[in-house]
Chains A and B, each alone.
Chain A
């Protein structure tokens, strides 16, 4: 029963014959540098060498970029030396292909498949090396990033703005015997990148920064996942086809029901259900959509949708196939799905039509081969006349008139040239007219034209002239030929036209889906998704859409916020039903069809995420089956996108939680350390003084001095903590008063008097410094912190300068100390950030964060930079005018 598809078997035999001696290719596919492809490849290879029947593995080429964990994997593997070549004075090294071939291992590891070889190697591209290795019967493991695939090159460039020059034909993926997808969430990849775990060549740094953005990575990842999924799907089907595996269901009878847009099809479906039940068979309900069916009336489309919905309800798998011919499409489907019985309705076409166009049932029976065909009777009700929507620009009457005019023109041409041309050749004019009619006017007018042409030819050019009688019986043949040619040509041209239309339709569908999936791939939140869906749905269906998602708590659905997202109560009930039952409901369905909207559930593997609601724009027609199918595809794309965003959100939240926890831990550690240290000194000093009477005066004095210094430190720390809490809590209440910056600097220096002893501090202020609206005490605090840092991190003199610019005052504190490491510059104003230095200088990492909080509360800015010639320059500005603004902020 489970017959292997003979064509598939043949194809496999053909494809297998030349590859029998070939090695197997396995590709470790990633979506960006740094996801761990090389690591995965080496790990897989190591496992092979460790198993009982160890595989002979050599590393032909591996690029670890000096990453330790990857390097460690290389240990114990045989590594072939690279080939070096002198090229224009530069030594280049690359994989030694000949060495690999000579060594002839069972498996060769070749990193970076898309690599372009150094000049002077045998092949310009590494992929060619790999193919040669495979041809030699050696298996190959290799790595590849998705953006190197030729077909994705443009897309990648479009999304990421980075053009990848090293590309590979897509067929390499198809040629691979195995593909392993190496996946890593973009967040983790970015973390790895930040931690310096991803190798980035110096010169590519900037381009890569552009490349490594969350949106880009997500899009690339989705592409890689989709590619891999596609491939797995193909492989699965391949495998099933060649081994005739029927699938994960029990083998048995499998029924195929062919339905049409007729009302009788519902009956057919119900009868088929009984039969399927009796046979305990799996059953499929299939509608083949040809060009003709695209022109179904609205009533017929609704009928068809009802039939398919009914079939689904009754447990059938439904499928709509787009094809030119019904019977071959049905048979292809039947073979692919190992159908054992086909069920069709009794012919409904009138006898004469059947005679002209052939009976579907007869065709089916003839094509069915081993498959049984059941014809089930269904009492015909007065069938609604199919109303064909015209796709041509003119009304039928006009088109027939044009056909007549064409023949008239041919006739005139014939009359004019009659003296010079024999009558048989005059036929050609009429033939031309018929062809033109077929091309531009459609089937009816072209048939009309051929009849008219035959009559005109007979009347005017065949003896006896001006009668329809024919003297020479040979002309009868001419008439028939002319008539037949007219029919055939018109039929063919119409068909070509329809196929072109269908192709265009398909292409448009694909383009639409592509556009939508691209928009969705870069969507960062629910609103982006809604926007992408709206744009594309409006474009394709001329429909308005909304997305409803459940609230975090409870069962209520809420629309993604939007300008026109109000929803009537009864419509909402329909949406809720669709959500709870996971079925499409509302307009043009069997459930609550009175609703204005149609709701399609968003289904994913994790369950139903929400629903999409669709409303018609006023006058538009209902969705055709193909449009509905398309819309369902839309829904599943949107569902995937929403799921992706929800997962990413969850991951991000987890990360934020973790970061917060880490920060809190760091804070606690830092504070407990910084609070205890002075207490230790103080307690130590006090207990020595109390208990040790033998101390001399100098020691006692030193102890006391030390303890006193520590109390000051403790006090500063507590002050910082209080300030920090205020800044953090947004509880900085600025008391803005016009104040003298010189006075503030003086006050700050006075506070630092003890600690600045013996240090030179130069203050340079212009005479005419204006008064600045500021909270005097807080700005003094800023200055104290900045000057204190300068004192801590330098020995040389410190300079303080201030000058007024147009609308602000700028204050600078400069030292010639050790400066700030470049990588620390962006972080030094972060809370609890402390530059890691070998020489420990005490501090809590709060001082600059407090400065920043205070200055920004004033509406000013604060920056840090390294000075030319060494040292640090801290600059802060305060606005001179916008007191009221600053007050609001405070």
Chain B
């Protein structure tokens, strides 16, 4: 159970708010609602929620705008809910600082899992010296990557990329974000460099590169390192 964490639901559809409220309340969360962007921001300051579930298509403000405004003073985890064809909006929202997104329609189990991850990540100290997911272990202090017993040889770029993914494990990182984090400003259009390095990284760490276990592709948006 989620020890009564406070969740703000922002969606203009009453049916979806009702559905979300039912599920989240049933799992022990305290739920607040907002139907519009402005309302969400005022609720944010009034209620101080631990996480926000935010719909992109709001009547007054765009979800990405809301995210950007909130990020100006708060690091509260934000999970985006969107319909499929809002891909560009999703990227914009993630780049604006959202932590994760879910495509409508979605399963309630999926939402709860994402919510748990987001809350955990927010609680965790980002300066942990090492990161482990499944058999993959990254020693951030020594810059050593091991898969089970074997040490994996990575190029500096591959390591930086894996590290960027690991630091925000379970969070969807957009292409844009990764390019800036690894290569720096001015590489926004060098998508192929990212693709090639992801592909090489997978060949080294994935048991089956065609069905990746660790580095998951979010089609059209970016990548996510799965925390198993």
Contacts and interface: CB of A to CB of B under 8 A. Distances in A.
Contacts of B219: 744, 747, 776-777, 780
Interface in A734-783: 735, 737-740, 742-747, 749-750, 763, 765, 771, 776-777, 780
Interface in B197-213: 198-199, 209-212
A653 interface: no
Nearest to A722: B85
Given A743-B217, A746-B212, 11 more contacts: A708-B107, A737-B192, A738-B195, A740-B195, A740-B199, A742-B209, A747-B217, A747-B219, A750-B211, A763-B210, A765-B210
Given A745-B210, A746-B209, A777-B87, A771 B220 contact: no
19 contacts: A708-B107, A711-B105, A722-B84, A737-B192, A737-B195, A738-B191, A738-B192, A738-B195, A739-B191, A740-B196, A740-B199, A742-B199, A743-B198, A744-B219, A746-B210, A747-B217, A765-B210, A776-B219, A777-B87
Size bracket of the B interface: 10 to 19
A795 interface: no
Nearest to B209: A742
A863 interface: no
Interface string A705-738: 0001001000100010010000000000001011
B210 A749 contact: yes
Residue with the highest number of chain B CB atoms closer than 10 Å, among A715, A742, A749, A763: A742
A743 B199 contact: yes
Nearest to B85: A722
Interface in A9-26: none
Contacts of B192: 737-738, 771
Contacts of A750: 211, 216-217
Nearest to A764: B210
Nearest to A773: B192
Nearest to A743: B217
Nearest to A777: B220
The 3 lowest CB-CB distance pairs between A and B, nearest first, are A777-B220, A738-B192, A763-B210
Interface in B167-181: none
Nearest to B206: A746
Contacts of A749: 210-211
Nearest to A745: B210
Interface string B184-197: 00000001100110
Contacts of B210: 742, 745-746, 749, 763, 765
Nearest to A784: B219
Contacts of B209: 742, 746
Contacts of A763: 210-211
A722 B217 CA distance: 23
A673 B8 CA distance: 39
B123 to A, nearest CB: 29
Contacts of A771: 192, 195-196
Contacts, number: 52
B228 to A, nearest CB: 15
A777 B221 CA distance: 9
A739 B209 CA distance: 15
- How extensive is the interface on chain A, given as a class? 20 to 34
Contacts of A746: 209-212, 217
Contacts of B107: 708
A742 B215 CA distance: 13
Nearest to B193: A738
A708 B108 CA distance: 11
B175 to A, nearest CB: 8
B220 A776 contact: yes
Nearest to B217: A747
Interface string B57-100: 00000000000000000000000000011010000000000000
Nearest to A779: B219
Contact of A743 (B84, B85, B87, B195): B195
A722 B196 CA distance: 32
A463 B212 CA distance: 132
Contact of A740 (B105, B198, B216): B198
A332 to B, nearest CB: 83
Nearest to A715: B105
Nearest to A780: B219
Interface in B4-40: none
A715 B191 CA distance: 31
B53 to A, nearest CB: 20
A742 B196 CA distance: 11
Contacts of B84: 719, 722
Contacts of A711: 105
Contacts of B195: 737-740, 743, 771
A745 B211 CA distance: 8
A497 B56 CA distance: 97
A749 B216 CA distance: 12
A744 B210 CA distance: 9
Contacts of B199: 740, 742-743
A375 to B, nearest CB: 95
Interface string A680-711: 00000000000000000000000000001001
Interface string A551-578: 0000000000000000000000000000
A771 B190 CA distance: 13
A710 B219 CA distance: 24
Contacts of B105: 711, 715
A262 to B, nearest CB: 86
A449 to B, nearest CB: 99
A722 B86 CA distance: 13
A711 B216 CA distance: 25
Contacts of A743: 195, 198-199, 217
Interface in B83-133: 84-85, 87, 105, 107
Contact of A737 (B87, B191, B198, B212): B191
Nearest to A714: B105
B179 to A, nearest CB: 12
A777 B91 CA distance: 13
Nearest to A775: B220
B223 to A, nearest CB: 9
Nearest to B88: A735
B99 to A, nearest CB: 21
B219 to A, nearest CB: 5
Contacts of B198: 740, 743
Nearest to B107: A708
A738 B107 CA distance: 32
B173 to A, nearest CB: 15
Contacts of A744: 219
A570 B220 CA distance: 65
A747 B220 CA distance: 11
Contacts of A765: 210
Contacts of B212: 746
A745 B208 CA distance: 12
Contacts of A742: 199, 209-210
User: Which of B84, B107, B196, B217 has most A Cβ within 10 Å?
Assistant: B217
- Among A735, A744, A746, residue most surrounded by chain B Cβ atoms (within 10 Å): A746
Contacts of B217: 743, 746-747, 750
A221 to B, nearest CB: 52
Contacts of B216: 750
Nearest to A762: B210
A750 B208 CA distance: 13
A677 to B, nearest CB: 17
A708 B110 CA distance: 14
A743 B219 CA distance: 9
Nearest to A708: B107
A749 B219 CA distance: 12
Contacts of A745: 210
A526 B122 CA distance: 75
Nearest to B212: A746
A746 B217 CA distance: 8
Contacts of A780: 219
Contacts of A722: 84-85
B221 to A, nearest CB: 9
A744 B105 CA distance: 22
